[in-house]
Structure 1
Amino acid sequence: MIRTGDEYRAGLRDGREVWIDGERVRDITRHPALKPIIDVKARMYDMQHEAAYQDRLTYVEDNQRKPIFYRPPREQKDWHDKTKAIDLVLKDIGGVVTRVGDETIGEMWSLMDGRDVLAEIDPRFADNIDRHVRAVIETDVFHVSANTDPKGDRSRPPQEQDPDMMVRVTRETDAGIIVRGAKYETASAYADQAFLKPTVGAWSSEKLSDYAVGCIVKMGAPGVKHICRSGFAGKSSPADYPLANRFDEVEALVVFDDVLIPWEDVFFYRHTRAAQHVRATLHRYSAFPYVLRLLYNADMMIGAAMWNAKQTGLDKLQSVREKLADLACYREGINAHLTASIAMAETSPGGLLMPQQSMLYAGRVFACSQLPAMMHIARELCGGQICITPNADAFAAEGSGQWLNKFYSLNDQWQADDRRKLLAFARDLLNSDYAGHRLTFVQFAQAPHFNHLAAVYNSFDFAGPLDFVRKSAGLSDRILGGAER
């Protein structure tokens, strides 16, 4: 059944061990760094119960109302419904959030496609993934993904250094497996559970099999410790940093200190082929909602830059319009890749509707690799005032306010207050610590750029270009066998 925001908050008060800025947090729903983003997720839960949103954020099956984001996609309409739902959510909260569940549940769908691989180890493991996909839908839990290990010295295998640098199985018990190690994860401190999976890329040796583990970890389980980075929320005035104070998604180093994983939560372990399969197919669904967020980032950059041009009267200059057109092309390029990936969607091995992989992964490369340049164009269009404008208190103070209000009022339509608000928004979007953090997050949240390119290479059909050039250049038919190799 769909949850309410209060039910979600109550679930976080489970005694979990969360640290931030050297302090053990007793109630994360009240901590100034965590409360704003928890409230955003709670708002998403509450929207599912409101008449204005319910039919578009949920669906009814077996006489139960369930979340549309967690519904496994089987037809194009399912993807369109998810896209419309995230549009409703982001417009309601007034910003962009990424790690809220819909972009990580796709990794579970990838496991559904690999049931045969899991069944090789133990038929129970394949049954576990079916049961967990159903459980996520039926309980509406906040599900995230535990991905990146500390790794240590990457020139050495984990066995030749502190073995805890990567998550590993240390022993089996009648109740389940025991894992040790650590992962970096966005939103772990305020999520219900995470899909823990390996990050070793090569898997060339069975000696690494202790590290080939995939399972569900409850974020409040004994031995799970969340050591959060310092948050942006609460460190400055919301009037000056409106995005950082509402949408900061806090990451943590999640330590697994001899954590018991019950057998019913294990998908595979000590099985390198399963690990290889997971790494190869991990983002075949989740890349779609991830890239979709960048479309809304583009909208925010276009909106901030266009409003600044209108405020200052520069929107009629051809040079300004050309830069705005560059931003529009970036936005529409993302939109085109997403639209095409669904229009050309394919049936997956597990019977789900999978976005056309080459188009989706190419869209991810386009959206992520071009973001720094697009942010700089937006910065140029917003002008130098985004880095030199005083804070809201200076505008309100009796001594300085009269001068700031004089010089920041542009005309009868655009007075100082609206001018200051736009500049503060643009600064937080493009120039602040929060903006820099978000840029780095985009570059690495679904693996680094070389992995993005590898996904394109592995999903693109090279047969067409090869055959076209073979025929056009008059190459011998003998090369066909070599091309296949």
Structure 2
Amino acid sequence: MLRTGEEYKDSIRDNREVYMNGERVKDVTAHPMFKPLVDIRARIYDMAHDPKTADVMVDHDGTEKNAIGNALPYTQEDWWAKRRSTDAVMEDIGGVVTRVGDETVGEMWSLYDGQDMLNEVDPQFSKNIETHIHKVLKEDPFHVSANTDPKGDRSLAPQDQDPDMLLHVVKETDAGLIVRGAKYETAAAYANQAFTKPTIANWGNDTLSDYAVGFICDLGSPGLKFLCRGGFAGTRADDRDYPLAARFDEVDTIVIFDNVLIPWENVLFYRHTKAAAFIRNTLHRYSAFAFVQRTLKQADQMIGSALFNVRQTGLDKQPAVQEKLADLAIWREGINAHLTASIALGERSPAGLMMPNQSLLMAGRCHALNNLSPMMHIARELCGGQICVTPNAATFDAPETKPWMDKYYSINENWVADDRRKLLAYARDLLNSDYAGHRLTFQLFAQSPPFAQSAAVYRNFDWDGPLNFVKKGAFLSDNVMAGIEQKTGDGSVEQYYSQPLLKAAE
């Protein structure tokens, strides 16, 4: 089914135990720090019913309609449809949000690809993941993904400190598993369910562990407590001074699992560290696409803000300014190129899904994130010092000060003081505010820390092509390739470059 925005809001009015700044929240749909994002998520649901946007939001397979974000990708066109849908959402709401569901449901598809491995552990777990993937299609929940634990002392094993520092199973019952611990998850307080899984990267020689557990958590379950970071929305004297923070702040939450029952049908793997390691290595093979696409929209925000600022004063005619604008454009188009190529050279996954080309997608993610901070600094420079010294909106309104603001902030009949104020406030909130700093850090870690993102590139790049090319060019003996798995046949240049094309064609 395709839910409406009001049906979504009703689904999270379930008396869940949510705390903001130490106070219990009665209704997350009405609280000023949650309401802007709840309304955005509701709007996304309603876009599937709006005649103006339904075509780009709905997947129709001939028998039923589903949200495109939830639909399993089988072809390259499926990925183009997802990309058009995400762009339509960001254009409709006028900003960028990261946690609205379509970028997290793909993590379940990664486990779907691991069904053979899950069958080795327990065939029931493989059946559970398939059931839940189709349940997402049928019920259209707001689905998020819980990964990060409090961790505690990371030099110690979990069992050598407070065991609750990492989420773990404390008891098995006929009804399911009882779990304790905590997870950080953006948007959990106003979502329906979370794919919850471990973050331990090194299991040592352990094959079994109570910390190796993954499941679908109903976020209305008894025993859950949501302790939220204080939001930026609803805290300003005038939202006009912080137009992005007031509308697009996504509230982060530490979710406390206080002996929570996870029914067996919601358990996706348990105790087997092999399954836990698999999901950590493949977690973002699909979801990275939506994440990188959102960074592309952030690039558009920065370019638009910087370009408006230099054009209003004529600085865009200067070569030095054009060079910096070109730097932003090169970064932006690099992201665009990686996204486009990852679709064009898509690969067939173990479960038969169409997977974005992994080497190109993961390299694109590193390109987008590694350059985000320096590109923000270039945008700041192009916007100029006025983004940090301009008075607030009230000064532009007050009778005693308005004439002076009109005099010094108006440039010509096209750029009057109020429009300049709006642009400078937008640029400040995008690049300079506490919200901007929060977003920068969030982007840096939202899909694992930088070293892990680089590791994903290392795991997915085809190293054999360059090795074989140099081997032939340097007339090296066959012995130098001993022990190296061959992926490109005879290593010819033609085959090296045509191999991804062949995969895509298949």
Instruction: Look up the match of 2:168.
Output: 168
Deviation by residue 1:310-363 (Cα, 9 ceiling, x = unmatched): 111111111111110100000000000000011000000000000110000000
Offset of residue 60 of structure 1: 2.5
* Contact 2:300 2:332 (8 Å CA) reproduced: yes
Once residues 331 and 116 of structure 2 are traced to their aligned partners in structure 1, the CA distance between those partners, rounded to angstroms, is 40
How far residue 483 of structure 1 moved from its aligned partner, in angstroms, is: 4.1
Partner of 1:396: 397
Q: What code does the residue aligned with 2:150 have? A: P
Which residue of structure 2 lines up, in the alignment, with residue 356 of structure 1? 357
1:208 Cα shift?
A: 6.3
State how far apart, in whole Å, the 2-side matches of 1:60 and 1:459 are. 33
RMSD: 1.1
SS in 2 for 1:2: coil
**Alpha-carbon distance in structure 2 between the residues aligned to 1:65 and 1:482:** 50
Aligned equivalent of 2:48: 48
Matches within 5 A, 1:410-449: 410-449=411-450
Query: Could you say what secondary structure the match of 1:231 adopts?
Result: coil
The one-letter code sitting in structure 2 at the alignment partner of 1:85 is S
Which is worse superposed, 159-168 or 203-212? Answer: 203-212
Kindly indicate whether residue 248 of structure 2 is the aligned counterpart of residue 262 of structure 1. no
Deviations 1:38-92, CA, capped at 9 Å, x for gaps: 0000000011101111121012246432101100000001000010011111101
* Structure 1 match to 2:297: 296
Distance in structure 1 (CA, Å) of the matches to 2:119 and 2:177: 18
Percent identity of equivalent pairs: 61
In the TM superposition, residue 122 of structure 1 has moved relative to its aligned partner by 1.7
The whole-number CA distance in structure 2 between the counterparts of 1:220 and 1:478 is 60
Moved over 6 A (4+): none
1:76-475 aligned within 5 A: 76-206=76-206, 209-236=209-236, 237-475=238-476
Distance 2:313 2:173 in 1: 68
The CA deviation at 1:478 is: 1.5
Amino acid at match of 1:84: R
What is the TM-score when the length of structure 2 is the normalising length?
A: 0.94
Amino acid across the alignment from 2:321: V
Q: Which amino acid aligns with 1:184?
A: Y
Q: Is contact 2:207–2:274 with CA below 8 Å preserved after alignment?
A: no
User: C-alpha displacement at 1:482, in angstroms?
Assistant: 4.4
The 2-side partners of 1:439 and 1:133 are apart by 31
Change (3 A) 1:207 1:353: closer
Q: Is the 2:143–2:192 Cα contact (8 Å) retained in structure 1? A: yes
CA displacement 1:187-235 (0-9 Å, x = unmatched) = 1001000000010001113276110000000111101111000100011
TM-score where L is the length of structure 1: 0.99
Structure 1 distance, partners of 2:398, 2:372, is 38
C-alpha deviation, 1:471, in angstroms = 2.0
Contact 2:180 2:260 in 1 (8 A): yes
Cα 1:247–1:334 change in 2 (3 A) is same
Pairwise CA distance, 1:98: 0.8
Is the alpha carbon distance of 1:482 and 1:66 closer, same or farther for their aligned partners in structure 2, counting shifts above 3 Å?
Answer: closer
Measured in 1, the distance between the counterparts of 2:481 and 2:141 equals 51
2: distance between equivalents of 1:64 and 1:476?
A: 58
Tell me the number of residue pairs that the alignment of Structure 1 and Structure 2 aligns.
485
Amino acid corresponding to residue 4 of structure 1 in structure 2: T
Q: Structure 1 stretch 177-186 or stretch 467-476: which is displaced more?
A: 467-476
**What is the CA-CA distance between 1:484 and the residue it aligns to?**
4.5
CA distance in 1, matches of 2:404, 2:334: 43
- Aligned partners of 1:412, 1:53: CA distance in 2, in Å? 35
Aligned to 1:8: 8
3-state SS of 1:234 partner = coil
CA distance in 1, matches of 2:437, 2:332: 20
1:478 partner letter: N
* Superposed CA offset, 1:275-322 (max 9, x none): 011011100000000000000000000000000011111111111111
Per-residue deviation at 1:146? 0.3
Secondary structure of 1:155's aligned partner: coil
Q: Unpaired runs of 5+ in structure 2? A: 487-506
Match for 1:205: what amino acid? N
1:483–1:132: structure 2 CA closer, same or farther, 3 Å change rule? closer
Asked if the contact 2:104–2:287 (Cα under 8 Å) also holds between the matched residues in 1, the reply is yes
Distance 1:402 1:454 in 2: 57
Offset of residue 473 of structure 1: 2.2
What are the superposed Cα offsets for residues 84-108 of structure 1, whole Å, 9 maximum, x if unpaired?
0111111010000110011001101
In the aligned structure 2, how far is the partner of 1:174 from the partner of 1:484?
A: 45
| CA–CA separation in structure 2 for the residues paired with 1:258 and 1:370 | 42
Deviation, structure 1 residue 479: 1.2
**CA distance in 2 between partners of 1:383 and 1:328 (Å):** 19
Q: Match for 1:395: what amino acid?
A: F
One-letter code of the match for 2:433?
Answer: S
Q: AA paired with 1:166?
A: L
Deviation string 1:227-254 (CA, Å, 9 cap, x unpaired) is 0001000111221100000000110001
Which sits farther off after the overlay, 133-142 or 201-210?
A: 201-210
Q: Distance in 2 between matches of 1:425 and 1:35?
A: 21
Deviations 1:140-185 (A, max 9, x none): 1000000000100000011000000000011100000011000111
SS at match of 2:174: coil
Q: Is the 8 A contact 2:240 2:422 kept in 1?
A: yes
For residues 285 and 65 of structure 1, what CA distance do their matches in structure 2 show? 22
